């Protein structure tokens, strides 16, 4: 199909145009990243021309200068496409790609036997790509997000879990220096205390994302880590389930986090973050401890800023002690308790929303998940669970 036919074939609706962009890319066979990027740039430029082309078709006047400009843009498109297109860079088939991963897996010590069983009938999952491509249509505010994840019900369930697993949590808390309520809050936010751990087969999910190309380097490493976990016998391929992006078990560890932080708390020789609550919660506590958690400190608190407060301190890397913030006029409930604690000022919604003073532990939560909404939710839920 020629480019001219492609242009003439469609109407102006967005979805048809999206499909046409895809078709254009497929027809031109641009699979290497540079080629794809250039094609996208070209297609974006060309999209404007397409709309003006349509305008012109429905308008009685057809200025020649416009047609000329469109012709020039089309010529530029063809040049860009020609530069980006390299015939040798066609994407290998999934099986060819797997054979390459196999070599690398063998080189890091994964056994032939594990690879044979792991790769049997392994194929990409289209829904994983769909999830990866779909962007939320609107952004929630912090309060909307908190209303979804820190509800009276999740607080009540959290207190129940704290009570139910009190001995285990006390031991874990002592061993790792992390307060029980934070371990329980992470468990609650991540999987609703183990109830929503995800039902995607992790091996196929991370293989899909590794093969896909958008974040292939990161997910190839996760895929290799997942193979190593299987090879070490912690879980069977059938039971290795998780989110569409490969986060596994009750505390949603990526395979690389599993390798770095997961622990066999009950000492049965297997790290089972899927079914064993002790292994899962000790792994979460170990993650926090190794990331710099301070067991005698909280996460932060909501505050009010004084009139005329210097905005350069908001969402910045500047920290001050609580007593200094107090002196500047920052105020809040029961504030300050530990005058020497260093704290940052965070406004998760930007200037319109609520303001928090955040302590070093808040930064540890951000290492787990780089989202201020997530960190405030974990902190808020922990506070609510701990204070009946």
Active site positions, annotated: 190
Tell me, what DSSP letter sits at residue 352? G
Could you tell me if 248 and 255 are in contact, meaning their C-beta atoms sit under 8 angstroms apart?
Answer: yes
Residues in a beta bridge with 201 = 241
Could you tell me if 293 and 361 are in contact, meaning their C-beta atoms sit under 8 angstroms apart?
Answer: yes
Strand 200-201, strand 241-242: pairing: antiparallel
Write down the least CB distance from residue 77 to Ca ion, Å: 58
Write down the least CB distance from residue 241 to Ca ion, Å: 17
Q: Which is nearer to Ca ion, 158 or 249 (CB)?
A: 249
User: Which residues does 203 contact at the CB level (< 8 Å), separation at least 6?
Assistant: 118, 122, 223, 226, 227, 230, 237, 240
Q: Which residues bind Ca ion (CB under 5 A)?
A: 264, 266, 268, 270, 279
Q: Which is nearer to Ca ion, 148 or 270 (CB)?
A: 270
d(C-alpha 264, C-alpha 256), whole Å: 16
Q: Which is nearer to Ca ion, 269 or 388 (CB)?
A: 269
Q: Is 249 left (phi over 0), alpha (psi -120 to 50) or beta?
A: left
- The angle subtended at Cα 50 by Cα 19 and Cα 90, nearest 5°, is 45
Write down the least CB distance from residue 117 to Ca ion, Å: 22
Q: Which is nearer to Ca ion, 234 or 237 (CB)?
A: 234
Does an H or E element contain 382, and which? helix 372-386
Q: Which is nearer to Ca ion, 270 or 327 (CB)?
A: 270
Tell me, what DSSP letter sits at residue 199? -
Could you tell me if 332 and 357 are in contact, meaning their C-beta atoms sit under 8 angstroms apart?
Answer: yes
Write down the least CB distance from residue 351 to Ca ion, Å: 47
Q: Which is nearer to Ca ion, 143 or 268 (CB)?
A: 268
Nearest-10 Cα torsion for 139, 142, 147, 152: 150
Q: At what angle do helices 166-176 and 277-290 cross, to 10 degrees?
A: 30
d(C-alpha 233, C-alpha 114), whole Å: 9
Write down the least CB distance from residue 234 to Ca ion, Å: 8
Write down the least CB distance from residue 150 to Ca ion, Å: 30
- Nearest position to Ca ion, beta carbon: 264
Tokens of 386: 């701990």
């Amino acid at each position: 199909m020629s480019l001219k036919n492609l242009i003439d074939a469609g109407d102006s609706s967005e979805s048809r145009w999206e499909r046409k962009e895809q078709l254009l890319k497929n027809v031109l066979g641009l699979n290497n990243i540079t080629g794809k990027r250039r094609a996208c740039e070209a297609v974006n430029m060309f999209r404007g021309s397409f709309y003006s082309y349509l305008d012109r078709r429905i308008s009685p006047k057809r200025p020649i200068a416009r047609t000329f400009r469109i012709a020039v843009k089309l010529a530029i498109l063809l040049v860009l496409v020609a530069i980006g297109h390299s015939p040798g860079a066609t994407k290998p088939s999934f099986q060819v790609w797997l054979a390459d991963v196999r070599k690398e897996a063998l080189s890091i010590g994964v056994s032939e036997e594990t690879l044979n069983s792991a790769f049997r009938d392994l194929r990409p999952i289209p829904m994983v790509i769909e999830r990866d491509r779909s962007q939320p249509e609107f952004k929630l505010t912090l309060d909307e997000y908190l209303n979804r994840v820190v509800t009276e019900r999740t607080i009540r369930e959290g207190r129940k879990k704290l009570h139910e697993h009190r001995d285990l949590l006390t031991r874990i808390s002592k061993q790792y220096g992390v307060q029980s309520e934070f371990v329980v809050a992470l468990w609650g936010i991540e999987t609703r205390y183990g109830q929503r751990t995800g039902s995607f087969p992790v091996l196929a999910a991370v293989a899909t994302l590794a093969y896909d190309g958008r974040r292939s380097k990161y997910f190839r490493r996760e895929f290799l880590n997942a193979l190593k976990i299987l090879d070490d016998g912690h879980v069977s391929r059938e039971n290795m389930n998780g989110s569409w992006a490969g986060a596994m078990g009750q505390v949603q560890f990526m395979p690389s986090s599993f390798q770095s932080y997961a622990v066999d708390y009950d000492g049965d020789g297997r790290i089972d973050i899927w079914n064993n609550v002790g292994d899962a919660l000790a792994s979460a506590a170990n993650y926090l401890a190794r990331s710099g958690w301070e067991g005698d400190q909280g996460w932060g608190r909501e505050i009010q800023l004084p009139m005329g407060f210097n905005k350069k301190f908001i969402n910045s890397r500047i920290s001050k002690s609580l007593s200094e913030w107090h002196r500047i006029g920052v105020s809040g409930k029961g504030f300050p308790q530990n005058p020497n604690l260093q704290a940052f000022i965070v406004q998760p919604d930007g200037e319109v929303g609520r303001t928090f003073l955040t302590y070093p532990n808040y930064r540890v939560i951000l290492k787990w998940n780089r989202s201020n909404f997530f960190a405030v939710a974990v902190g808020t839920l922990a506070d609510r669970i701990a204070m009946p």
